[in-house]
Amino acid sequence: MSTAGGELFFFNVEEENPRDLATDSTYLWLITSEGRLKKYLMNGVLVDSIIGFFSSGWGLTWENNRLWVSDPVSDSIYQVKLPEYQNITADSVKNWIDSGDSLVILDVRELYEFESYGRIPHAVNLPWNSGVLDTAYTQLSLDDTIIVVCRSGNRSKQASNFLDGKGFEHIYNMLGGMNDWHYPVEVSGHISVNVTWEIDKSPFIAVADIIVDSAKSLTLQPGVSVQFDGLFSLQVYGALLAQGAVDSNIHFTSYGSLPTGWEGIKIFGENSSSFNYCRIDSSENGILCFNSSPTIRNSWVSGNQTGLYLSGPDANPSIEGCVLDGSSDNTPILILCDSSSAPTITNCSILGGLKGVVAKNGANPQLNYNNIYNNSDYGVLNEDSTLTLDAQYNWWGDKSGPFDPLDNPEGQGDRVSQWVDYRPWLNSPLPYICGDVNADAVVNLSDVIYLANYLLKGGDPPPVSICRANANGDDAINLSDVIYIANYLLKGGPAPHDCENCQL
């Protein structure tokens, strides 16, 4: 639209009607109907929203290189002090960090937030609300480039103003705070509030031990990865709720390619911890239960020095539908039961270790309906002669049963020690559903994705058994099985082949 005086143009001011405005050579300043001072480029791009509210009727002008407001009620004029800090988005902060420039990430949340929720890697914690920054700011250099962060952006604005007043020249306030940070975070210290670690901040990189305090819970969303950057552990005195999904496992592992791994997940005392569709690998000990009985289901434990360690008369967890696999590194012991622990272990595959299950010092695990095979020294070793373990109805890798030099010397399956009741045994592997590649008791598109990921992208873990994945019955696992299952599900093709005498 043209007028005699020039050309009009329009831009949106974020749904806040301007009450009054002023301009300098670069910016347009306005007071909104809500009394907030805003700063725009001349093309209408919002640059900053300045803290402070101005009462109804206040006017605004730019003169003598100063921004002024007038109060008609008191008939007074004030100069507005403009902060020297700048606002910056979380995405811009991530790009800046990735550039390799020297930055100080100053997190002004309270310590419990800093530790429990995670923070930007290498951040420094000087809380604002509790007054720590008031005196500890002297730890910072006036020449530092400082990015100030809080939960939502409110405290960081106040802290940025404070630092500006102390003479710091390179201050950036991260808009939206950690709520808008959708990148990996660093964790360590105490989980002292009930908290959920969300997928958009995964992986959570542990740079020291993590401790879930008593009566507090740490919940992990499906798909979250927790990676340990050193010989650290996750210690649970409250509750760990790791409920993954068939196609979104929760993964506990070492960070990067660390050869030393990490120490494992340690569960202490009575609590309601649970694991479902989790992967635990590359640690000294996968899960350690000290007089604790978490529920462990549908999970894969592999590549650890000890898969599960259970100790104490109250260490009686239910372990069901899990795969404990030592094939990649000849895990010394897949399940170690100690000090009168008494877990119930069913529908699991325990394979590839030097020893599958070891019981000692009064431990009395109940082992029924499992696949225990390809363990080089023992499938089950009982070191306590005062009791006999119930290990009936297991598949030992061969229909002849386990090898027992005294009572079953013809057995071709895994070796068992004395004081193990293994009769009767299963003559074939656990019941299975052919095509149910991920062992969730149903054949669906998740199995197609699971098998394709394993074959084409080296996905891990592998199918629970050859029988489940050998859908077309040709005794091989390949892309033909992927096509076969997809054809069955999507086009009504023949059902997956079911063989009676399948070998795992």
Distance CA 382, CA 365 (A): 10
Q: Which residues contact 341 (CB under 8 A, 6 or more apart)?
A: 289, 310, 311, 312, 313, 315, 316, 363, 364, 365
Q: Classify residue 416 by burial, with Cβ atoms within 10 Å: 0-12, 13-18, 19+.
A: buried
Distance CA 269, CA 475 (A): 46
pTM of this structure: 0.74
Helices (H) and strands (E) in the chain, counts: 7, 40
CA distances, 73 to each of 54, 61, 62, 76, 82 (Å): 12, 17, 20, 8, 23
Specify which residues 185 forms β-bridges with.
204
Among 21-25, 88-92, 220-224, top mean pLDDT goes to: 220-224
| Greatest C-alpha distance within the chain | 110
pLDDT band at 472 (very low <50, low <70, confident <90, very high): confident
- Tens digit of each residue's pLDDT (9 = 90 or more) over 242-266: 999 988 999 999 998 655 589 999 9
- Tens digit of each residue's pLDDT (9 = 90 or more) over 67-91: 888 887 788 888 776 667 889 899 9
User: Is the omega angle on the peptide bond into residue 463 within 30 degrees of 0, that is, cis?
Assistant: no
Residue where the block lists tokens 């590359």: 282
Segment 453-461 mean pLDDT: 78
